[in-house]
Amino acid sequence: MKYLFCLLAVVLLAQCAKTPPVTPSPTYSEREAAVLQTVAPLVAGQWRLTDVHYSRRPLFDAPVGWPRDTIVAQLATLMLTPTVPRFSQTGHPAFEGELSYAGKTYPVYFALWANPDQVNRQQGPPAYFTLEYHFPVGTHQTAVEEQFLQDVGLVGCQFTLEAPAGSATLHWQGLDRHLQSLTLRQ
């Protein structure tokens, strides 16, 4: 009986022992938001697209007038301002602006998406995006220059975005088509 009482006392006291409070680890969504919040404030502004590395890939049609591998010193200018994301991209920083090329201006839009490797392992570029034209709804005739920017792979293609801290430059790495990388300077 003594042993049963002692065993019961030990079990009750062991259950009453203080355990350190467990701090919940941030969720994936919270870590994703933190990554995007570090990059998003650096994107807005007026940018010159410089050091554009073009490499023709055999699976895609090559734009007329550019040799096989080319580095363009300055391709275009891009003015970006933050905007409200489209309905399916809630929580992702979005930007709209104007892309100026060959004396013409085109409206553009993109939303930033966090890189899962950056969110989970803090490796790789922080964000992805797809630069798209953002014309008003209705009929629109495609201009030759507009089609050229799509054929080269600047518009309608995916890029990674890196923004070095304390620098007035952005680096885009092309994931599709012909453009391998671009440097944007303010």
Tokens matching residue 125: 């570029």
Domain holding 125: CATH number?
2.40.128
Residues 21-34 pLDDT 10s: 778 888 888 888 88
76, amino acid identity: A
- Domain extent at residue 110: 28-185
- On whether residue 13 sits in a domain, the answer given is no
- On whether residue 15 sits in a domain, the answer given is no
Indicate if the pLDDT at residue 15 is higher than 70: no
Tell me how many domains the chain contains.
1
High-pLDDT (> 70) share of the chain, %? 82
- On whether residue 105 sits in a domain, the answer given is yes
- On whether residue 10 sits in a domain, the answer given is no
> What does pLDDT average to over the chain?
83
- On whether residue 7 sits in a domain, the answer given is no
> Cβ(73)–Cβ(50) under 8 Å?
yes
Give 117-120's long-range contacts (Cβ < 8 A, gap of 24+): 118/35, 119/28, 119/31, 119/32, 119/35, 120/28, 120/31
The pTM assigned to this predicted structure is: 0.79
- On whether residue 17 sits in a domain, the answer given is no
Residues 38-94 pLDDT 10s: 898 899 999 999 988 887 766 556 555 666 777 777 889 999 999 887 766 667 899
Tokens matching residue 36: 């995007």
- On whether residue 172 sits in a domain, the answer given is yes
- On whether residue 3 sits in a domain, the answer given is no
